[in-house]
């Protein structure tokens, strides 16, 4: 069957639109994956920060009881490490690190992985996330802080 205005032998353009459509579909899914999984990674990072702050608070609650009896208030660093690690593991966070940048400050750093939803289709299964938080060991209140 011959279409009006169609020349015989002019077949070079057949199927060319399908490459364009395939490219657009792939681009759309890549953009959707980056948007959806990027938002998920940000949310998981906020969660990691919150867990790290709470783990630091749990660590800063560990008072050296022997020192208190002699009137000195200080952290029991061994117990602080254990309490922070226990809190972090209860929230399914890994890569737990506790440091003491100052004498009465506990700083917690956590690492986790965000499991992707759409980027998994192209082979990206996990995105790394890091959270951190710190707390100060307060051993007495002498007035209103401002």
Could you list the beta-strand ranges (E) of the chain.
94-99, 105-115, 126-136
* Residue range 4-13: mean pLDDT, rounded: 57
* Rounded Cα gap, residues 44 and 127, in angstroms: 10
Lowest mean pLDDT among 13-27, 39-53, 78-92, 109-123: 13-27
Whether 35 maps to a domain, the answer reads: no
Residue 89's domain spans which residues?
A: 46-136
Lowest mean pLDDT among 8-17, 18-27, 55-64, 124-133: 8-17
Whether 106 maps to a domain, the answer reads: yes
* Residue range 120-124: mean pLDDT, rounded: 82
Grade residue 146 by pLDDT with cuts at 50, 70 and 90.
Answer: very low
Whether 39 maps to a domain, the answer reads: no
φ/ψ (deg, to 5) at 107? -120, 125
The number of distinct structural domains making up the chain is: 1
Whether 55 maps to a domain, the answer reads: yes
* Residues, the chain: 146
| Residue 89 pLDDT greater than 50, yes or no | yes
């Amino acid at each position: 069957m011959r279409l009006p205005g169609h020349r015989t032998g002019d077949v070079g353009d057949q199927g060319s639109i399908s490459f364009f459509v395939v490219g657009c579909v792939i681009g759309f899914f890549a953009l959707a994956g980056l948007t959806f999984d990027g938002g998920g990674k940000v949310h998981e990072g906020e969660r990691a920060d919150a867990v790290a702050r709470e783990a630091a608070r749990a660590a800063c609650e560990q008072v050296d009881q022997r020192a208190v009896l002699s009137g000195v208030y200080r952290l029991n660093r061994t117990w602080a490490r254990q309490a922070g690690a226990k809190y972090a593991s209860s929230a399914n966070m890994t890569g737990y690190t506790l440091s003491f940048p100052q004498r009465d400050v506990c700083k917690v750093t956590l690492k986790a992985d965000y499991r992707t939803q759409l980027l998994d289709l192209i082979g990206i299964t996990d995105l790394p996330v890091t959270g951190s938080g710190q707390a100060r060991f307060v051993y007495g209140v002498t007035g209103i802080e401002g």
